[in-house]
């Protein structure tokens, strides 16, 4: 097994990545270094900046991930501010903002940055379209999972197992792209 460091404090993200990358021969190792998240317009900028920052302190190949929930009726909000919004107004706040709104379309985006010492980070993106439910459903996963129903599913990410979620998820799709990059680099 090849060791791949994942720079994150989120054990849920590590679990998802482990399930996706283990069959490809990678052992995902969580490394909670922390890094400041730059305020930017696009997730790609946040991930690239984070990777460059971590490169200065960590001399091993690693990956990090940034994600956001973009809700149509809210003009893409919370988007790049998803983590902050989750910890301030939470799921209840998002549901309040959408009370009475018919258009509940949303997209989850995930951006992984893979970095090797001295090299420019490689960025991959995954997306999952869906809708925001009218109430919290399920207690699996993390973040916005209990209010997001992916297209083609009848339940929220919060009601799915990790294996089920990885069939739809933005992170799963981004990890599939990252796996191709990692194979090509070997």
Q: Just list the catalytic residues.
A: 66
Give the phi and the psi of residue 6 in degrees, each rounded to 5: -120, 115
């Amino acid at each position: 097994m090849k060791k791949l460091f994942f720079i994150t404090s989120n054990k849920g993200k590590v679990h998802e990545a482990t399930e996706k990358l283990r069959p490809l021969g990678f052992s995902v190792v969580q490394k909670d270094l922390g890094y400041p998240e730059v305020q930017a317009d696009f997730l790609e900028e946040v991930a690239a900046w984070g990777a460059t920052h971590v490169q200065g302190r960590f001399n091993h190949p690693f990956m990090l991930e940034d994600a956001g929930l973009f809700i149509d009726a809210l003009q893409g909000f919370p988007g790049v501010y998803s983590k902050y919004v989750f910890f301030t107004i939470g799921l209840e706040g998002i549901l309040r903002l959408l009370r009475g709104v018919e258009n509940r379309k949303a997209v989850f985006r995930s951006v992984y940055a893979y970095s090797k010492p001295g090299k420019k980070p490689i960025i991959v993106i995954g997306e999952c379209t869906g809708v925001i439910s009218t109430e919290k459903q399920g207690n699996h996963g993390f973040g916005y999972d209990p209010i997001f129903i992916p297209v083609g599913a009848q339940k929220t990410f919060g009601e799915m197992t990790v294996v089920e979620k990885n069939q739809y998820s933005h992170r799963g799709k981004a990890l599939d792209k990252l796996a191709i990059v990692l194979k090509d680099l070997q």
